[in-house]
């Protein structure tokens, strides 16, 4: 029996990258019944580290992310869904962990380095943003999570958390648990590229298909997707590597989809082979991808629309979840302070 913690920044609605990279896996793990506790965190405090001037964006996306969760099958009766900023214990833990990490260690974090570049911070990196891997270590360890289902970009954060846990446990007392990341089984799902071919579909880059997108939006977005720039005429040989249309097919396509939507092929290998030797147009492949995505996302969107009719009920769930999460984090904080010997007034 293990404990799971994972979450998302409320910087926008959730997209296909979240869906294949983490959400689907969470729902499977939740329904396996094999875990003692599952915590799903809406990381609003982390979202503020690079959105301090845009509180409304973060505020407004809290219920959007919660709706995405529940539309995909996360169940508040089986998982504790909570809001990070409502658990002040997480800040306190971060504050103590900051003493266990060097500036140069943070500077080496490849995901943070990349995000700093993407956001164009140059010399104006907010301190909170720079240190968010430490706050993430607080989030994970507060719940003694040992399993963290995430996309590939999060591996350096889990490594940082493990370092903090080892340092804490050896300096003080062994009260913290070392977590492991769980990546999706299908490696293309660990980092789904953007519609524009950028390395990662990301809310901050605006190159996403959102779970809430209408059927028409999905169609238009698929039609506008970047493909192989050397595949100019239908008869030209095409490349499937680094071609987001084929990468999405790798992530979503099953053999049954051919029988249903494109019966002239048996499977994805046959379709790829045809594209590579030439004679297969991007339009046909995109049309097929569109059918698959429509089929997968329609039930999620319908459930989302239904749940969105009662946002009050969503906030009730988040409030209850936050209360439960706080009681667990408070217990860990007590253990941490007593391990450090700073529980001066404890009896």
| Residues contributing to the site for ligand ATP (CB under 6 A) | 8-9, 11, 17-18, 21-22, 150-151, 153-154, 190-192, 200-204
> Residue 100 or residue 188: which is nearer to ligand ATP going by CB?
188
Closer to ligand ATP at the Cβ: 84 or 141? 84
Residue placing its CB nearer to ligand ATP in the complex, 200 or 301: 200
- Helix or strand run (H / E) with residue 36: strand 35-42
Q: How far is it, in rounded angstroms, from Cα 225 to Cα 202?
A: 15
Return d(Cα 263, Cα 280) in angstroms, integer.
15
- Contact predicate 14/211, CB 8 Å: yes
Contact by Cβ (8 Å): 140, 179: yes
Q: State the nearest-atom distance from the C-beta of 95 to ligand ATP, in Å.
A: 23
2 — phi, psi (to 5°)?
-125, 180
Rounded Cα distance between 290 and 334, Å, is: 52
Q: Nearest distance from residue 124's CB to ligand ATP, in Å?
A: 18
Nearer to ligand ATP, 115 or 326 (CB): 115
Least Å distance, CB 17 to ligand ATP, is: 3
Helix (H) or strand (E) holding 83: strand 80-83
Length of the chain: 347
CB of 186 to ligand ATP, least distance (A): 11
- Judged by beta carbon, residue 205 or residue 308, the one nearer ligand ATP is 205
Least spacing, CB of residue 157 vs ligand ATP, in Å: 9
Question: Taking CB positions, which residue lies at the least distance from ligand ATP?
Answer: 21
CB of 153 to ligand ATP, least distance (A): 5
Count the alpha carbons within 13 Å of 147 in the hemisphere toward its beta carbon: 20
100 close to 125: Cβ distance less than 8 angstroms: no
Cβ-based nearer residue to ligand ATP, 207 or 322: 207
């Amino acid at each position: 029996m293990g404990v799971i913690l994972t979450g998302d920044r409320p910087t926008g609605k959730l997209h296909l990258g979240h869906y294949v990279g983490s959400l689907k896996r969470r729902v499977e793990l939740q329904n396996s019944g094999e875990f003692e506790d599952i915590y799903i965190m809406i990381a609003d405090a982390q979202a503020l580290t690079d959105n301090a001037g845009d509180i409304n964006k973060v505020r407004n996306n809290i219920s959007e992310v919660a709706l995405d969760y529940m539309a995909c099958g996360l169940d508040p009766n089986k998982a504790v869904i909570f809001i990070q900023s409502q658990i002040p214990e997480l800040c306190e833990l971060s504050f103590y962990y900051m003493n266990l990490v060097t500036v140069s260690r943070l500077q080496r974090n490849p995901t943070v380095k990349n995000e700093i570049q993407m956001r164009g911070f140059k010399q104006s990196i907010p301190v909170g943003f720079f240190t968010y891997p430490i706050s993430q270590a607080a989030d994970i360890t507060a719940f003694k999570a040992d399993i963290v289902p995430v996309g590939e970009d999060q591996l350096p954060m889990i490594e940082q958390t493990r370092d903090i846990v080892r340092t804490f446990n050896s300096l003080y007392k062994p009260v913290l648990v070392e977590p492991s990341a769980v990546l999706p089984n299908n490696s293309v799902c660990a980092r789904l590229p953007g519609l524009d071919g950028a390395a990662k579909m990301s809310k901050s880059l605006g190159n996403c298909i959102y779970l809430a997108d209408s059927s028409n939006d999905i169609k238009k977005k698929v039609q506008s997707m970047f493909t192989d720039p050397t595949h100019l005429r239908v008869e030209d040989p095409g490349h499937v590597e680094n071609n987001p249309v084929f990468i999405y097919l790798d992530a979503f396509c099953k053999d049954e989809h051919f029988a249903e939507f494109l019966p002239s092929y048996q499977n994805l290998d046959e379709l790829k082979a045809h594209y590579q030797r030439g004679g297969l147009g991007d339009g046909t492949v995109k049309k097929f991808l569109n059918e698959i995505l429509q089929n997968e996302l329609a039930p999620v969107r319908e459930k989302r629309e239904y749940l969105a009719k009662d946002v009050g009920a969503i906030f009730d769930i988040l409030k209850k979840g936050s209360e439960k999460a706080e009681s667990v984090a408070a217990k860990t904080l007590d253990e941490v302070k007593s391990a450090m010997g700073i529980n001066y007034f404890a009896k």
